[in-house]
Chain A
Amino acid sequence: MANDIPEDIAEKAAIMREFGRLRAAGEPVPTELQAKHVNATNDRYATGPEPGERIPDFSLPDQEGRQRSVANLTGPNGLLLVFHRSADW
């Protein structure tokens, strides 16, 4: 359910495109559009596994191409795992 596509995705896309166009052109973003963009992006906010639950196992390459898993990422006091949007934009 958390990964379902919302019904108003086209409406949201229009808001995001307009926001992106203004930003790329270096033009000011009207406050109302800014607010709509924040709301469209943050709708149906999902936060995944709850405290006490085990996280899904994974194996992903790091910036050097080394394959990393939960086991080899975790320190003696645990792991702070940060999901973020992008390092590219």
Chain B
Amino acid sequence: MIERQGLRIAAISYDSQEVLQNFALKYQIGFPLLSDRDSAVIRSFGILNTNIAAGLRAHGVPHPVEYLIAEDGKVVRKYFVPNYQHRVTASAVVLREFGVASDDAQVVTLRSGALTVEVGLSSAKAFAGQELGFFAKFNLEAGWHVYGAPLPEAYTTTSVSFDSPQIVRQFFDLPSAVPLADGVLKETLPVYVGSFRGVGSLLLRFPLDEGETILSGHVRFQQCSETICEAPEALPFKLRLKLEPFMDATRSMKVRASQSQGESA
């Protein structure tokens, strides 16, 4: 789904070309896996993991960082999770950069008064420890608004948040709100009107049991017109996510390779 957006993908590790070739064959990897055998490129990026002493197997590995790089070679955005057990999903990248979610990802529609909100995940499935994307598309009937930030304490900023224990960390960004002078309260406050859309990310705990799971959360807002202000609301939602079984990819590959050579693993 990355390539469909005109974006190429490439991975760099300190593995030998032979290891990468076996890995690409076994997992049908269609993009370049680059071999930085002496970690020279990893060093040139300044991301060598220096915590790992010479002599240890992992000596020479990088801190896991993903860069979105423009055609001119400049960094557009960095994706990283400061924990080696966590990774950002391709679907989260595609959702943030191109606004496209997987076709099979569930979308729920919430309605209250003049507001309709569609909430969905970037993908229908993920591994424990991955960072997924999510989006919320808001649509307000004419004459109504909800609030952005910053706001005085008495008002409710529009937000989407998950409260499931499977989630370690989350972010949600909305576009900048537009200032609106309130005729009744004589205040100018940041608001959203019409249709707008926010994108967020959520980091899944590691480890988690495989199988179907439910991620739940709330959309919070307060809808007002020029004459009426409704009470603040919190609409609950639930989204299905399939947690994939953890694959110890490389171990099974090594076992197979050594079996075919008649050696013991």
The interface of chain A, by Cβ under 8 A from chain B, is 2-6, 9-10, 12-13, 16-17, 20, 38, 40-58, 60-65, 68, 70, 73-89
Contacts and interface: CB of A to CB of B under 8 A. Distances in A.
A78 B64 contact: no
A63 B10 CA distance: 11
A76 to B, nearest CB: 4
Interface stretch (B75-83, B119-127, B146-154, B179-187): B75-83
Chain A binding surface SS class = loop
Chain B binding surface SS class = mixed
Contact of B35 (A9, A62, A82): A62
B50 to A, nearest CB: 5
B23 A80 contact: no
Q: Give the contact-size bracket for chain B.
A: 35 or more
Interface of B: 2-3, 5-15, 17, 19-21, 23-24, 29, 32-36, 41-53, 55-58, 61-78, 80, 82-85, 90, 93, 249-251, 254
B75 A50 contact: yes
B93 A80 contact: yes
A22 to B, nearest CB: 15
A45 B63 contact: yes
Contacts of A86: 13-15, 19, 58, 61, 250
A86 B70 CA distance: 26
A12 to B, nearest CB: 5
Kindly name the residue among A10, A13, A46 whose own CB sees the greatest number of chain B CB atoms within 10 A.
A46
Kindly name the residue among A4, A38, A40, A60 whose own CB sees the greatest number of chain B CB atoms within 10 A.
A60
B75 A55 contact: yes
List 5 tightest A-B contacts by C-beta distance, closest first: A77-B6, A75-B8, A2-B46, A87-B23, A13-B53
A75 B41 contact: no
A2 to B, nearest CB: 4
B71 A42 contact: no
A23 to B, nearest CB: 10
